[in-house]
Amino acid sequence: MSNEVVIPFSTTIHVRDTCLCLHAQRAARALARRFDNALRPVGLTNGQFSMLMSLNRPQPATMSSVASVLDMDRTTLTAALKPLQRRGLIEVLTDPKDARSRLLKLTEEGLLLLQRALPIWTATHAQVDEDLGEGGSEALRQGMARIR
């Protein structure tokens, strides 16, 4: 007698059709592709747009506040910020209150690029809203917020 473990293919189909993680990941990848394609003419990815937008504040942002908004750990955030810094879109400043801490600030070039990207994001987001139908975007945001 074999001790081989067999999971019926019907279980695979059931997981494929009902797994919230799978469906959320697929939707996230599809949204990311849509926004990446839309933002490509201005040289940004959707993630870079979100990072730049998170820095659009009256005062420079702390690393931890940006990490919190983007739900990233600081190491991942630091790596993601480097290309933006190399392009001259952001500045990393020493916090005058604590020399060990860093503050993040949009440069003028970063703000100008964000101004060019915002209408693209707005139009793309409006199309996604339309695709989701009446109340779909808000219901989706509310549902995702309850999972956190």
- Residue found by looking up tokens 């001259």 in the block: 88
The confidence score (pLDDT) of residue 1 equals 58
Q: pTM to 2 decimals?
A: 0.88
Strand order of the β-sheet with 98-106 is 61-62, 98-106, 90-95
The pLDDT tens digits for 90-133 are 999 998 998 889 999 999 999 999 999 999 999 999 999 999 99
- Residue found by looking up tokens 């952001």 in the block: 90
Q: Using an 8 Å Cβ cutoff, are 49 and 61 in contact?
A: no
Enumerate long-range contacts of 31-39, CB under 8 Å, 24 or more apart.
31/128, 34/124, 34/128, 35/121, 35/124, 38/120, 38/121, 38/123, 38/124, 39/117, 39/120, 39/121, 39/124
Cα–Cα distance for residue pair 52/77, rounded to 1 Å:
12
Cα–Cα distance for residue pair 124/119, rounded to 1 Å:
8
**Residue 107, exposed/middle/buried by CB under 10 A (0-12, 13-18, 19+)?**
middle
Q: Which DSSP category does 42 fall into?
A: G
Cα–Cα distance for residue pair 79/65, rounded to 1 Å:
16
Question: Would you say residue 138 has pLDDT above 90?
Answer: yes
The pLDDT tens digits for 30-88 are 999 999 999 999 999 999 999 999 999 999 999 999 999 999 998 999 999 999 999 99
